[in-house]
Amino acid sequence: MSEPMADIAHSRVDAATTRAAPRRRSWISRIRITSDTLLGWATIAGFVLVWEIVYRLGLMPPWAFPSPWQVVLAFRDLIANGVLLQNTLASIGRQFTGVILAAIVGIPVGLALGANARVRAAFLPLCRLIYPIPGIAWIPLAILWFGIGFTSTVFVIFFSGIWSIIFNTMTGVQTLSGLYTDVAKVYMAPRGLYVRRILIPGSLPYIITGMRLTYGVGWRVIVGAEMISSITGLGFLIDDARWQLRPDIMVCGMITIAMIGWVSENWFFDFVERRTIERWGMKSV
């Protein structure tokens, strides 16, 4: 084989090898993801198995510790009579209203605290003073101010979760590279343009993290709030089942909350990240 022909053959082999390498890596990553998924489901199955064994051995009183099958039957009944759907929609409505209100207020406050030293000096001590108060502690005041119902529960979710958004947004602004600010100053960018094109996109990873935390805090708070200040919702469903000595229904409510949280975390927030952070190329900022 002549020298030019040999070079062409080698180049084709190298090109084929180069194309095959990403494919191999892709298959390896898929296998790894599949094995991780199977491992996670195996752990869940093991948990259910231990749960069934504890029930069968009578280690817990049956009136207080339902079997997995009893929970499945309770799910069937709650879905059939519409009780689960009604209370789930009530909780989701309160939860999203509280989180959206927390974002509407918390993001501008966090941007101001991060970008302006005077605002930070004036208001950060107050934020740090109120932040440690548990959300559940606001429930009695919320009932006095707004009565029992939708508004008081939303207020508790809002006031419990807003701090994660404020502090994460502030941190995002403070960690933003000074290069962006210097470029904005050199080109004398208007304040509004600077906020829209630099400050918010640059802080977006921290803002999304703050909203994730707020969403998680909201579900932890909403159960306690609905137990005390509401006549609908998953928290009310769990508390009402306690009075009826129906632990199977209580577990149904808990599993429903876990499933909603899992779906929101793995679908909704991932979708928001794809549409914002990765789209604007701010993943590594």
Cα–Cα distance measured from residue 161 to residue 138, given in angstroms and rounded to the nearest whole number: 12
pLDDT at 112 over 50: yes
Cα–Cα distance measured from residue 283 to residue 285, given in angstroms and rounded to the nearest whole number: 6
What mean pLDDT, rounded, does the chain reach?
Answer: 82
Residue 213 lies in a domain: yes
Residue 285 lies in a domain: no
Q: Could you tell me the pTM of the whole model?
A: 0.76
- 250 and 241 Cβ atoms separated by less than 8 Å: yes
Residues 124 and 260 in one domain: yes
Structure tokens, 103 = 């974002």
- 95 and 218 Cβ atoms separated by less than 8 Å: yes
pLDDT at 31 over 70: no
Q: Which residue has the tokens 């959300």?
A: 135
Encode pLDDT of 171-219 as tens digits. Answer: 988 887 565 666 666 656 666 666 666 777 778 888 888 988 898 888 8
Choosing from 17, 36, 59, the residue where a domain stops is 59
Q: Which of 238, 219, 75 is nearest to 161 (CA)?
A: 219
Residue 214 lies in a domain: yes
Residues 100 and 223 in one domain: yes
**Any residues with CB less than 8 A from the CB of 92 and at least 6 apart, and which?**
260
Residues 135 and 159 in one domain: yes
Total Cβ atoms within 10 A of residue 75: 17
pLDDT-derived band at 16 (thresholds 50, 70, 90) equals very low
Alpha helices (H) in 244-276, listed in sequence order: 247-263, 269-275
- 160 and 218 Cβ atoms separated by less than 8 Å: yes
Whole-number percent of the chain with pLDDT over 70: 76
**Any residues with CB less than 8 A from the CB of 175 and at least 6 apart, and which?**
206
pLDDT-derived band at 220 (thresholds 50, 70, 90) equals confident
pLDDT of residue 126: 93
Residues 238 and 169 in one domain: yes
- 215 and 272 Cβ atoms separated by less than 8 Å: no
Number of domains in the chain: 2
- For 215-250, b where at least 16 C-beta lie within 10 A, e where not — what string? bebbbbbbbbbbbbbbebbbbbbbbbbeeeebbbbb
Whole-number percent of the chain with pLDDT over 90: 45
pLDDT of residue 9: 45
Encode pLDDT of 147-175 as tens digits. Answer: 888 899 999 999 999 999 999 999 988 88
Residues 43 and 147 in one domain: no
Residue 92 burial class via C-beta count within 10 angstroms: exposed 0-12, middle 13-18, buried 19 and up: middle
Tell me which amino acid residue 75 is. Answer: F
Domain that holds residue 129: 68-280
